[in-house]
C-alpha cells in the first residue's frame, strides 16, 4: 500500500513498463488517482538485464524495492573479447573470485524488475490492458482522452510512458521524425533458455561495423546482433520474419559462432529488433501532457541505461510534484529543467564513446578495443 496524499485529481499513464510503473508509483503518492493503459495483453516481457546504479540506487531505496532488487540481482563475473578462432584477446574482470557483491550497482533481469514494480503499484492503480489512446483534446480544466475501444474519458493529466515509438508523443507533440535521431545501427535481441557460454560471463565478437554479444546468466543466454547502416532500412515493424531475415542477411557467412547463433535466432520464440536512435525534444511537457522515459529522452540501448533513465525520470517528475505541492504547471517546468542536464550528458556520452567501442569500424579499432576494454 502506497502512502498517498488525498486529492481528487486523475492521471492517465500510457505504457506499463519502467517509466509507466514508476510514474504510477510517484503520481499515486502525490495523491492522483492513477489509470495505466497498456497496449499489450500484459506486461511486455523480454529484453536484456537492466542496470541499477548511481542515483537510481537511492531512488529504488525510496520506493522500498531495494532489498527485493538486491536479492534478485545477477552477478556477472567476466567479460571476454573473442576473435574468429574463439581465442580470448582481452578480458575485463567484472568481479574477482571470492569478492563480495557491490552495494552500489546491480544488474537484474528485465522481467523480474517489471514484476517487482507491478507488484508495488497493482493494488493502488487501475490497469487497462489491450487498449491505447487514439486522440487527446484540451478542454478548459481537463484533457479529453479517446481510447481505441471507443470510450472517452476526462483526466487532469496524461503521461506518455509508451517507449521509443510513443503514440502520446506522436499525437500531442508531433511526428517521430522531428525528434528521433538515427544512430546508424540496428540490433536484435534473442534470449534462449540455455547457456551458450559459461554462466555470468559476457562475450563480444566484432567484425568491422558488426558486433555479436552473448550474455549468460540464470540458465539463459542473450544473443545480441548489431550492425551499422548509413541509411535507415525500410521495414514493417510488425513483421518479425522480415526483421529476422534482415539480421540473417547481414550476418550470414561471418565467422566465429555466427552460423550457430543465427540458427538460434531464426528458431527462437523471443525476438526484438529495432534501430538505435535517440529521442531529443526541446520540452518533455506541453499543457497537461508530459513524457517520461524512452518516449521523451531515449538515449539508445548503447547507453545501457534505458531502464534506469526511466526510473530516474519518473522520480524527477514525482519530486517536482512534491516540491510544488501538486501544481502541475510548476512541476512540469521543474522536471524539464532539473532532469535535462543529466539526460544531455548521457546522450552525449553514447555519441562520443559508446557507439565506437561497441561496434568499432576497423580491424585496428577492434584489436585496440579488445586489448583495452571499454575503459570503465
Ligand atoms: C519487450 C521489450 C524488450 C526490450 N529489450 C531491451 C533490451 O534488451 N535492451 C535495452 O537496452 N532496451 C530494451 N528495451 C527498451 C527498454 O525497456 C527501455 O529503454 C527502458 O526500459 C525505458 O523504459 P520505458 O518504460 O520508457 O519504455 P519501454 O520499456 O519501451 O516500455 C514502453 C511500454 O509502452 C507500451 N506501449 C507502446 N505503445 C503503446 C501505446 N500506444 N499505448 C499503450 N502502451 C503502449 C509498450 O508495450 C511497453 O510496455 C525493451 C523494451 C521492450 C518493450
71: left (phi over 0), alpha (psi -120 to 50) or beta: alpha
Mutation probe of ligand 1 site: the residue of 13, 162, 164 with most atoms within 8 A of C-beta: 162
State which ligand 1 atom lies nearest to the alpha carbon of 133.
42
Residue closest by Cα to atom 4 of ligand 1: 47
Closest CA to 161 of 313, 41, 342: 313
Closest CA to 309 of 344, 360, 277: 344
Q: Is 236 exposed, middle or buried (0-12, 13-18, 19+ CB in 10 A)?
A: exposed
Closest CA to 151 of 164, 132, 165: 132
CA distance 121 to 27: 11
Which sign, positive or negative, has the C-alpha torsion 334, 336, 341, 343? positive
CA of 90 to the centre of ligand 1 (A): 33
pLDDT of residue 103: 74
State which ligand 1 atom lies nearest to the alpha carbon of 224.
8
State which ligand 1 atom lies nearest to the alpha carbon of 18.
25
Mutation probe of ligand 1 site: the residue of 13, 14, 15, 298 with most atoms within 8 A of C-beta: 15
C-alpha distances (whole Å) from 25 to each of 1, 135, 235, 349, 361 are: 10, 25, 36, 30, 43
pLDDT of residue 353: 74
E strand spans, the chain? 10-14, 33-38, 50-53, 78-82, 88-93, 105-108, 126-129, 133-138, 143-147, 152-155, 157-160, 180-192, 201-207, 210-217, 220-228, 272-279, 285-286, 289-291
CA of 162 to the centre of ligand 1 (A): 7
State which ligand 1 atom lies nearest to the alpha carbon of 303.
11
pLDDT of residue 164: 94
CA of 89 to the centre of ligand 1 (A): 34
Identify the residues whose C-beta falls under 6 Å from ligand 1: 14-20, 37-40, 44, 46-48, 132, 161-163, 167, 189, 272, 293-295, 301, 306-307, 310
Mutation probe of ligand 1 site: the residue of 12, 163, 237, 304 with most atoms within 8 A of C-beta: 163
pLDDT of residue 94: 81
8 Å CB contact between 20 and 125: no
Q: Is 228 exposed, middle or buried (0-12, 13-18, 19+ CB in 10 A)?
A: middle
8 Å CB contact between 294 and 163: yes
Closest CA to 26 of 303, 370, 293: 293
Count how many residues are written for the chain. 376
pLDDT of residue 238: 83
pLDDT, tens digit only, all 376 positions of the chain:
556 666 689 999 999 999 999 999 999 999 999 999 999 999 999 888 999 999 999 999 999 999 999 999 998 899 999 999 999 999 998 877 666 667 778 899 999 999 999 999 999 999 999 999 999 999 989 999 999 999 999 999 999 999 999 999 999 999 878 899 999 999 999 999 999 999 999 999 999 999 999 999 999 999 999 999 999 999 988 899 999 999 999 999 999 999 999 999 999 988 999 999 999 999 999 999 999 999 999 998 888 888 999 999 999 999 999 999 889 999 999 999 999 999 999 999 888 877 888 899 999 999 999 988 886 5
Which residue carries 480544466 as its cell?
A: 141
CA distance 24 to 124: 9
CA of 88 to the centre of ligand 1 (A): 34
CA of 168 to the centre of ligand 1 (A): 14
Which sign, positive or negative, has the C-alpha torsion 279, 285, 289, 292? positive
Residue 294: enclosing H or E segment and its boundaries? helix 294-297
Amino acid at each position: 500500500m502506497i502512502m498517498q496524499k488525498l486529492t481528487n485529481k486523475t492521471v492517465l499513464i500510457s505504457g506499463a513498463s519502467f517509466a509507466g510503473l514508476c510514474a504510477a508509483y510517484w503520481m499515486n503518492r502525490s495523491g492522483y488517482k492513477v489509470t495505466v493503459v497498456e497496449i499489450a495483453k500484459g506486461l511486455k516481457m523480454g529484453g536484456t538485464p537492466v542496470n541499477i546504479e548511481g542515483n537510481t540506487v537511492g531512488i529504488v531505496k525510496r520506493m522500498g524495492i531495494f532489498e527485493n532488487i538486491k536479492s534478485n540481482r545477477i552477478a556477472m563475473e567476466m567479460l571476454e573479447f573473442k576473435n574468429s578462432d574463439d581465442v580470448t584477446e582481452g578480458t575485463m574482470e567484472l568481479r574477482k573470485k571470492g569478492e563480495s557483491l557491490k552495494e552500489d550497482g546491480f544488474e537484474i533481469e528485465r522481467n523480474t524488475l517489471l514484476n517487482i514494480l507491478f507488484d508495488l503499484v497493482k493494488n493502488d492503480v487501475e490497469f487497462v490492458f489491450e487498449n491505447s489512446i487514439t486522440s487527446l483534446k484540451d478542454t478548459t480544466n481537463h484533457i479529453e482522452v479517446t481510447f481505441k475501444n471507443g470510450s472517452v474519458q476526462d483526466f487532469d493529466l496524461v503521461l506518455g510512458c509508451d517507449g521509443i515509438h510513443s503514440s502520446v508523443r506522436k499525437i500531442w507533440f508531433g511526428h517521430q521524425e522531428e525528434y528521433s535521431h538515427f544512430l546508424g545501427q540496428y540490433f536484435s535481441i534473442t534470449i534462449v533458455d540455455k547457456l551458450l557460454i559459461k554462466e555470468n560471463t559476457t562475450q563480444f565478437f566484432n567484425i568491422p561495423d558488426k558486433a555479436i554479444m552473448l550474455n549468460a546468466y540464470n540458465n539463459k543466454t542473450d544473443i545480441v546482433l548489431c550492425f551499422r547502416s548509413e541509411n535507415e532500412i525500410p521495414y514493417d515493424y510488425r513483421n518479425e520474419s522480415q526483421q529476422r531475415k534482415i539480421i540473417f542477411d547481414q550476418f550470414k557467412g561471418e565467422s566465429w559462432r555466427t552460423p550457430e547463433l543465427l540458427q538460434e535466432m531464426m528458431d527462437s520464440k523471443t525476438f526484438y529488433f529495432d534501430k538505435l536512435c535517440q529521442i531529443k525534444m526541446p520540452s518533455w511537457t506541453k499543457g497537461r501532457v508530459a513524457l517520461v522515459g524512452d518516449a521523451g529522452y531515449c538515449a539508445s540501448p548503447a547507453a545501457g541505461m534505458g531502464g534506469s533513465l526511466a526510473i530516474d525520470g519518473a522520480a524527477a517528475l514525482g519530486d517536482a510534484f512534491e516540491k510544488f505541492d501538486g501544481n502541475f504547471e510548476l512541476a512540469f517546468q521543474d522536471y524539464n529543467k532539473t532532469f535535462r542536464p543529466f539526460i544531455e550528458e548521457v546522450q552525449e556520452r553514447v555519441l562520443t564513446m559508446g557507439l565506437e567501442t561497441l561496434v568499432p569500424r576497423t580491424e585496428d579499432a577492434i584489436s585496440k578495443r579488445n586489448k583495452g576494454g571499454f575503459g570503465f
